[in-house]
Amino acid sequence: MICRVAFALSILLGSTQLSFADEEYGIIGGSITYSESVFSTKSTPKFSATPNLFYSDPKGFIDGSLVNWQLLPYVGLSGNWRFAEVSDSIVDLPNGIQDRDGNGELGITVGTVGARLTYLHDVTSEHNGYEVQLHLGRTLETWTQPFTITPYLEVDYRDKKLSNHLYGISNTESSSSGLKAFDAGSTFVYQAGLIGLYEFTPNWIGISKMELIHHDTSSPLIQRDIGWSLEIGLTYRFAGL
């Protein structure tokens, strides 16, 4: 784990020129999402609504549920609300599997909004675990000026406590669901995606997103190797006009 973090830091510190928030920019809105979760027992994708929030300036950024306040150059204090991933309210879980509640987290971020390494630790005593996120992304211009694309890659390391909270199966759940009891070790999660923004007007920005995700665990809760989602929506630009 130490070697992997050191390697991630070398990538990060060599890539901070990819994106730096020299100017204020912010959008808020919503999308219609068509997706298939790795946890869902259903073989058909489902529709849902997804909020969109992004803000950045030289003092920090907000990227979805992650908030970062820049304390020093390239070093910030971060807070995050981890929304539930394993819950019957968002996916179709096997019968007998209990919901895994979300939790609040605090930590630090090294880097920029587009090239960052973030450490987040549970501060709500839900599982007392932590996650380390390596996120790399860059916004690119296209053949038409109003349209930009942002490819991104994220690798998350989840310690044993967080992993067991999400992927573990207790003896009680095993008896109720028929799934084999499982005690999870530390895991990695791999995400890759593409975000498209189209400026209809200076205020109104269309948004589209495609994402693939893989959880590197042998937990019986995982129903398929790759989860995916497609989004399309509209956002309002409230900063950076």
pLDDT category at 11 given cuts 50, 70, 90 is very low
> pLDDT tens-digit profile of 198-236?
999 999 999 999 999 999 999 999 999 999 999 999 999
Q: Check pLDDT > 70 for residue 116.
A: yes
Averaged pLDDT for residues 93-108 = 95
> pLDDT tens-digit profile of 171-189?
999 999 999 999 999 999 9
Q: Check pLDDT > 50 for residue 15.
A: no
Q: Which CATH class is domain 27-239?
A: mainly beta
CB 45 within 8 A of CB 34: yes
Q: What is the pTM for the complete model shown?
A: 0.88
Which residues lie below 8 Å from residue 109, measured CB to CB, with a gap of 6+? 68, 75, 76, 77, 78, 116, 117, 118, 119
Q: Check pLDDT > 70 for residue 13.
A: no
> What pLDDT was estimated at residue 43?
86
User: What is the Cα–Cα distance from 133 to 5, expressed in whole angstroms?
Assistant: 10
Sorted by where each begins, the domain ranges of the chain are 27-239
Structure tokens at 50: 């997804």
Averaged pLDDT for residues 28-46 = 95
User: What is the Cα–Cα distance from 80 to 66, expressed in whole angstroms?
Assistant: 5
> What pLDDT was estimated at residue 241?
79
CB 209 within 8 A of CB 197: no
> What pLDDT was estimated at residue 1?
52
User: What is the Cα–Cα distance from 69 to 18, expressed in whole angstroms?
Assistant: 19
